[in-house]
Structure 1
Amino acid sequence: MLNWSDLPFSRIIIKIVIGLVITSFLFASIGNYLISINRNVVVKVDDVKITFPDLEKRYQNELDTMRSELGQRFYKTLSDLDYLKSFRKSILERMVNRVLLEKYSKSLGLQVTDSQLRELILSMPQFQYDGKFDIEFYKSSLFRSGFSVENFEQSLRIDYLIQNQLIPAIQESNFLLPGEINAQNKLINQIRNVRIIEIGMEKFLNNISLSEEEIFQYYSENAEFYSQPEKLKLSYIELSLESLKKNVVVTDDEAKQYYFDNINLFFAEESRKISHIFIPDNNQEIAYSILEELNLGANFSNIAKKTPKESSTFNVEWIQRNTIDPEIERAVFSLKSIGDISSLIQSKTGYHIIRLDDVKASFTKPYSKVSDQVKEELKSQKAINTFYELKHQLENLAFEFPYSLNEVAQSINQPVYTTDFISENKYPEILKKPIVLEVISKPEIKQEGLNSEVIEINPEHILVIRVEDFKNKVPLLLDQVSDQIIMKLSEIQAKQKASIFAKKLVDSLKNTDEDVILEKESLKFSEVKKVNRTSEFANTIFSMKKPVHQNSVYTYAQDATGNVVIIALDSVENTFNTKSNQTIVNQLIEFNSVQELYTLLHILRSNTNIKYFDEHYS
């Protein structure tokens, strides 16, 4: 059995490892992985199948995300077939991990209530305007992203289960020994006593001589960097739900009608918060002894430290009826008063002991409390209807009048924005989006002057663009840029000379008396400086070996401009700062969480029948 008390987790790190739906799955157009039987199965995790279409859809959507982030660099990535193969496999492994953690959570009796799911969706900024949830925007956004509401909410339910119930429950059992914290405190707050010599790059610029051949060769190899940039004259129509919404009006009568028509949206069932002790099914005697201890006044939060590793103690978020194991539910809702403890409850997975911590009665929010929310929802609904109607017209008209945006703009009563001849770095921010730059570069847009198709910045923010005219990139003559090239080449050679000089100097300091070397080079170390981990060149200084027998240790570093710093490490001081302890505890828990997560997944994989149906992924 898994040891609950040895499984700490860190929310931040785990988000990275398992890829939560709220971030990486949202608008990713990936359906629920709990799918029906499909012949195209790539991997089977016990009874759960992940199909090739599932994997391919996720793979393509992550490529789309990468394309928007990398711009033109994305196409270079596509040429690396080994990387793409590894990338696809990593996506599949994350999907498998997600299945494993979901199954493990459910085996412990953890479930997500409809109320919890609803509150989560209402709070998600992706579905809000002016800080409030918009039901129609929510539905349309999912539709535009390839989600059904059912599949999205099922995926979100799974991730909430893992992130907000399983992980916090296990994380609470984590503890650190004082010795661990103290050792890390001394390491983090360590002081290093150093002396330095700063040598400016100008020392190495004086004796640099460049031939005409070197200058011409550099110019020839880097001509693309010495030219006047391409300039375009652009026009575009921009349409966004946010801008349309500002002109929408909702009356009180409309809002009240919506409230009473959808009264169930404003009803919250009774919910209860509990503390929960779980003991695996082969430990009945232990379960009864724990119950006896609790009845004698033992503390729930301390019980795991005094019981065998197989038992675990954790808190559960607010739960409602019909959301957890029926036996556990009956026990939870039979407790009368806060602080009451249940008798021993047996489920399919083991024994449970429940303590009631708090109760929230069911209630319906009055219209006066939600009127603003209702009006915002209706306002969004009206704006969405207008948006999609105008979008449809924009798509058709931009095609019907392919060489002008003026007729299009007049028909939908929207302005045309225009620019003068400008280079890419001067584009309006909306036109600097990778997806827009990609469209502008297409020959039919840039050279033929056609209207673009509708470009989606996001599902409710679109534009159509047209290149009115363009001026090609113009190479600059060598005479025009020779001074720049000479300066650049001089800096390159000076940095190289500085690095060679510094290495030779450090080698000499390691093997010869310090005073002799410094006198020969007419150099002098500074007074001793106390350096911590936030100081300049800290990475270099704290990577140096500690001095032995009071013999200084030497190294060098270069800053971004090429200046050289010779460093002499004389001694190390281990200091202790109690104010750092909480930060250190958080850091250690985060570090341990990464290790423990991989340990948990390794155990789950070892005890799960995972069958790959393609040798490329096994």
Structure 2
Amino acid sequence: MLEAIRNRAQGILAWVIIGLIAIPFTLWGINNYFRDGGETIAASVNGEEITISEFRTAFQHYLQQIRLLIGQGFSENMLDDPAIKQNVLNSLVEQRLILETVTKLGLNMSDSDLSQVIQTNKTFQDETGRFDSALYESVLNSEGLEPAEYESRLRLALLSEQLVSTLRFSAFVTQQELEDIARLRYQQREISYGIIPVSKYYDTAHIDEGKLHEYYNDHPDEFQIPEQVVINYLRLTGESLAKDISINEQVLHNFYEEIKNQYTVPEQRRASHILISITPENDKTAQQEAQQVLERLQKGESFEKVAKEVSKDAGSAKNGGDLGFFGRGVMDPAFEQAVFSLKQVGDLSKPILSKFGYHIIKLTGIQPGKAKSFDEVREELAQKYRQQQAEDQFYEKADILDNLTYENSSSLEMAAEALGLMIETSKPFPRGGGSGIAANPKVVAAAFSEEVLEEGINSQAIELGPNDLVVLRVNRSIPAYIQPFEEIQKEIKEKLTRSEAKTKIQELGEEFIKRLQQGESPEIVFAEEGVNWSEKRFYTREDINADIPPEILITAYGLSRSELEGSVFAGQLLKTGDYAVLGIYSVRDGDFNKLDEKTRQSLIQEIERSRGEITYRSFIEGIKSKAKIKLYPENL
């Protein structure tokens, strides 16, 4: 189990700590187990509340992950998408149900397993790759967490992920099922085709001006430009303030002295242990067993050998009991006290009792505590100082911005002058939003509000994100209008030309199909139009990257096996506007036993994943049906 947890932990902690979703069970998902009530709630599950702050954290994490995945395709409009909000809330509800199930089942994880998960995570390691307890505490402190609280949350999150993984990876598939699926999945159909290009008929299309006017008059909505506005705005951000903050060496040295304790690396120790767990069978003899192990070690037996032989901590036993380096606040309190009480490397402890059983501990290494020098942390200090100063300035200037734009509601100039900000101007945008700042739905809503659009006053300060405020006013309003015929005459002609050409090639293609069905040679028929007819070739349904348009494959595999008696011809309009005629001549079924090993394993894993997901969803729906769930979408 430990290896699986350690592999997952690199994703869990590295992302959770910096504020991103890495797995379904992030630490914010279990906040309710460690907090008091009193907040507005988004949902309740069996009486346990999911607060609005938990929802907002999850929602922001989700959007951040989506932004990373789709890059420039990300739209700020997603911030107000009810469907996305509902999906995030549903996910939180499911997380809460899984967490309850873990608690009811009494699942647990040893302190040594948890310790190794924490210590092997790069988020908490120094430049040499060693666990840094000061960094660990600093990162947790920045998130408002104490080590004990964080470790309780992490333990529960990891156990929850373990339960979900068990459900998702419990499915299997029989040999017969594999053969049946492979028969269809890797079936091949012998296909040839010809494509009639729509461009050949552009010149033959006759679109007179009368048709253009007729289309223009019959489709006014198509040429209507909606109401638009241009806005002036002031934007105050912590990021821009930080760039303008100058720093001298004396200021940095003073700042270093103020927060020097954050850069102190406390003593770390490396230890190995042998665990004698307490069970109903050995409840009265466990201490005696531990004492016997200690006596073996005192007589000179190898600690590593004995650990591999008798230790019940499977995660460390295979490494001779080695737990690596760790600082205070990581291990079980009794275990930790024993480790830090040992005087010299090589010393052995007496049997130490923890909630996991009796431990025999060997001290194997000591790293004395030390403080990082000013030079080592200078760049980080400068960044922290700028952020701190920028945040202080931001709140002061935010009040000034809010007050001056409210008191001088007909202008942004006084606030701009007082704060040293530039009044910026947007491009025209409609109620549906635009680009740049107009992509933000909060900005669009304010610009088209009655107070701003009709009364002509400044908007309230709008929070676009952390330390990011904007105040706007309408520069000018552009009423809705229909584009003049002269401006879009060319566009209409191109559209009607394409439409008429498509009709002509579709009619021609259908005529060709009839001739082919009557036995004429495809090569001869298509040569009449100067079009090439391809050679026959076998394609699978997944050959989407081959030299064949995907629509042709979709059409070919859309025909049932019973329809493929002899040579069959069909037609398909392509997304390019061209028209394809295809012939299907024969079918070869897929054979699982003839697939290469990599493909066979990939198919097995795909099917098992799919069935595992079905098992998981069935489990979730089952516990949902028995739970008392209340959603409050109006609070989102």
Deviation at 1:558, TM superposition (A): 4.3
CA 1:600 to 1:202, structure 2 compared with 1: closer, same or farther past 3 Å? closer
**CA displacement at 1:471 relative to structure 2:** 2.2
1:612 pairs with 625, 628, 635, which one?
628
Structure 2 equivalent of residue 410 of structure 1: 417
Contact 1:193 1:529 in 2 (8 A): yes
Query: CA distance change for structure 1 residues 553 and 117 in 2, over 3 Å: closer, same or farther?
Result: same
Q: Secondary structure at the match of 2:330?
A: coil
After superposition, residues 23-172 of structure 1 pair within 5 angstroms as 23=21, 32-34=31-33, 35-36=35-36, 43=44, 49-51=48-50, 88-97=89-98, 107-109=109-111, 111=114, 120=123, 149-150=144-145, 158=153, 162=157
| Partner Cα distance (1:114, 1:284) in 2 | 30
Q: Which amino acid aligns with 2:546?
A: S
Question: Structure 1 9/295 Cα, relative in aligned 2: closer, same or farther at 3 Å?
Answer: closer
2:237 partner letter: S
| Cα displacement (A) at 1:369 | 0.6
- Which letter does structure 2 place at the counterpart of 1:252? E
Taking the aligned partners of 1:536 and 1:595, their CA distance within structure 2 comes to: 33
Shift of 1:500: 7.8
Per-residue displacement from partner, 1:184-234 (whole Å, max 9, x unpaired)?
A: 999999998753311212467688789999978865675343145655443
In structure 1, distance between residues paired with 2:38 and 2:434: 48
Residue matched to 1:235 = 232
Alpha carbons 2:43, 2:631 under 8 Å: kept: no
1:251-290 matched pairs, under 5 angstroms: 251-270=248-267
Q: Distance in 2 between matches of 1:402 and 1:381?
A: 31
In 2, the alpha carbon distance for the partners of 1:447 and 1:72 equals: 24
- CA contact 1:215–1:486 (8 Å) conserved in 2: yes
> Is the Cα contact below 8 Å between 1:21 and 1:159 reproduced in 2?
no
Change (3 A) 1:583 1:573: closer
Are 1:366 and 2:373 matched, yes or no?
A: yes
Judging changes above 3 Å, is the alpha-carbon distance between structure 1 residues 536 and 71 closer, same or farther for their aligned structure 2 residues?
A: farther
- Return the offset for 1:394: 0.4
- 2:247 corresponds to which of 245, 250, 253: 250
Q: Secondary structure at the match of 1:50?
A: strand
- Identify if the C-alpha distance between structure 1 residues 616 and 464 changes in structure 2 by more than 3 Å, giving closer, same or farther: closer
Shift of 1:388: 1.7
The one-letter amino acid paired with 1:245 is: A
1:526 to 519, 534, 538: 534
Distance in 2 (alpha carbons) for counterparts of 1:105 and 1:321: 26
CA distance in 2, matches of 1:553, 1:344: 82
Q: Measure, in 2, the Cα distance between the counterparts of 1:588 and 1:12.
A: 27
TM-score, normalising length: structure 2: 0.61
| Closer/same/farther in 2, CA of residues 568 and 56 from structure 1, 3 Å limit | same
User: Which range moved further: 154-163 or 464-473?
Assistant: 154-163
Is the deviation greater in 456-465 or in 106-115?
Answer: 106-115
User: What does residue 22 of structure 1 align with?
Assistant: 20
Residue aligning to 2:405: 398
Is it true that 1:475 corresponds to 2:479 in the alignment? no
Q: Residues 148-207 of structure 1: CA distance to partner in whole angstroms, max 9, x if unpaired?
A: 83499968984698479977xx89xx99x9x99x99999999998753311212467688
Spell out, residue by residue over 1:260-280, the C-alpha distance to the aligned partner (whole angstroms, 9 max, x if none).
332321123455789999999
CA deviation after TM superposition for structure 1 residue 572, in Å = 7.5
Superimposed CA distance per residue, residues 495-522 of structure 1 (whole angstroms, 9 cap, x where no aligned partner): 577668768977987xx47655665565
Structure 2 residues without counterparts, runs of 5 or longer: 67-72, 127-134, 294-301
1:561 counterpart residue number? 576
Query: Are 2:551 and 2:574, in contact at CA under 8 Å, matched by a contact in 1?
Result: no
Residues 205 and 494 of structure 1 are in contact (CA less than 8 Å); yes or no, is this contact kept in structure 2? yes
5 Å-filtered alignment, 1:376-525, equals 376-418=383-425, 422=428, 429-477=436-484, 481=488, 484-489=491-496, 491-492=498-499, 495=502, 512=517, 515-516=520-521, 519=524, 522=528, 524-525=532-533
Question: Bigger CA drift: 566-575 or 235-244?
Answer: 566-575
Shift of 1:383: 2.0
Task: Give yes or no for contact 1:337–1:356 (8 Å, CA) kept in 2.
Answer: yes
Aligned equivalents of 2:79 and 2:217: distance in 1? 27
Give the structure with higher Rg (CA).
2
For residues 565-580 of structure 1, the aligned pairs below 5 Å read: 565-568=580-583
- Matched with 2:296 is none
The count of aligned residue pairs is 566
Amino acid at match of 1:561: T
In the alignment, which residue of structure 2 is the partner of 1:295?
305
Quote the Cα distance in structure 1 between the aligned partners of 2:512 and 2:6. 49
The aligned residue for residue 535 of structure 1 is 546
Inter-partner Cα distance in structure 2 for 1:217 and 1:315 = 84
**One-letter amino acid of the counterpart of residue 387, structure 1:** F
Within 1, Cα distance between the matches of 2:632 and 2:519?
59
Cα offsets for 1:447-466 (capped at 9, x unmatched): 33211222223222222222
Give distance in 2, aligned partners of 1:526 and 1:205. Answer: 24
Aligned to 2:20, the other structure's residue is in SS state helix
**Percent identity at matched positions?**
18
Counterpart secondary structure, 1:33 = helix
SS of corresponding position for 1:463: strand
Identify unmatched segments of 5+ residues in structure 1: 124-132, 143-147
Amino acid in structure 2 at the alignment position of 1:22: L
Q: Which amino acid aligns with 1:226?
A: F
Work out the CA distance in 2 between the residues paired with 1:209 and 1:597: 56
Instruction: Return the alpha-carbon distance in structure 2 between the equivalents of residues 293 and 86 of structure 1.
Output: 52
Distance 1:328 1:8 in 2: 22
TM, length-normalised to structure 1: 0.62
Q: 1:248-306 deviations in whole A, cap 9, x for unaligned?
A: 12332332233233232112345578999999987989x99xx9998399899xx99xx
Q: What SS does the corresponding residue of 1:456 show, helix, strand or coil?
A: strand
CA contact (8 A) 2:20 2:62 kept: no
Closer, same or farther: CA 540–431 of 1 in aligned 2, 3 Å: closer
> 2 CA distance for matches of 1:601 and 1:337?
54
Q: Specify the SS of the correspondent of 1:526.
A: coil
